[in-house]
Chains A and B, each alone.
Chain A
Amino acid sequence: MIVDCHVNIWEPQHVRPLFAAGTKTARPGEVGIAADADTLHAAMKDVDKAII
């Protein structure tokens, strides 16, 4: 079993401009910030469970 113990969930209106700008420095490469339920479900297709 694979469990993703750390998954964030939010709707687009929860993402403020300052946070969105900050994500560009979070890691190398592009960071997608879509994290609605349907996006999470698709992203988690290869894990058994996810804690969100």
Chain B
Amino acid sequence: MKKYPDKFVGFAALDPRRPDAMDLLKRAVEDHGLKGIKFGPIYNGVSLLDPRMEPVYRYCVKHNLPLTMHMGTTFATNAPVELGRPVDVDTIAMRHPDLKMIMAHMAHPWWEECIVVARKQPNVFCEVSALFYRPWQFWNILVCAQEYRIVEHEKIFWGTDFPFTGVAESIAGLRAVNRLVEGTALPRVANETIERILHSNPFAHWWHGGLAV
């Protein structure tokens, strides 16, 4: 962030298994100026419902920090994917209604669950990073999001998950989402939906009052 302040906004990676997790979190935010928290329940093996997460939620609310989370599955054989279900985000959102949470990767393969949770919880969002290379799933995700109207309510954001994908291919993949249904009567992801996601602005929504960048 110090080297490239005009380009990057930094989030702190959280490992709640560490006894000094909260101390590290406070240092990251209060000493180093990081603007949010990143957590992966399936990577740490810690459920969102685990009591160790409660101080994290309270700290995030107190300091207006969004909590972005790898939700859904992963390729790692030892990752307990049951911890990546969006229903847990729904539970936490009801318990902490001022906590801004973001579900990464549309919590695939539970993207319908992700969409309904993002729809019903005002402070819950989702994002489409690292999905375009599964074109059938990606098309289904965006049609479903369109039909549940969460795109027009600015609940979906764009990202790459770099280095797993790059900027150019992610943009191209999003804009080509209708390619596999060409010549069919299947519904289209509207151009407005595509461009709205691509040009979405997390700084306007992920922080109460927005984040000046």
Residues of A whose CB lies within 8 Å of any CB of B are: 1-8, 18-19, 22-23, 25-29, 31-35, 37, 39-41, 43-44, 46-47, 49-52
Contact = CB atoms under 8 A, between A and B. Distances in A.
14 contacts: A5-B102, A5-B159, A6-B104, A27-B133, A31-B164, A43-B166, A46-B167, A49-B9, A49-B213, A50-B9, A51-B10, A51-B11, A51-B36, A51-B159
Nearest to A52: B8
Contact of B167 (A4, A29, A49): A4
A43 B159 contact: no
Interface in B148-203: 157-168, 171, 198-203
Given A27-B133, A41-B8, 7 more contacts: A3-B203, A5-B127, A5-B202, A23-B164, A35-B163, A43-B162, A51-B10
A11 B167 CA distance: 20
Given A27-B130, A51-B11, A8 B202 contact: no
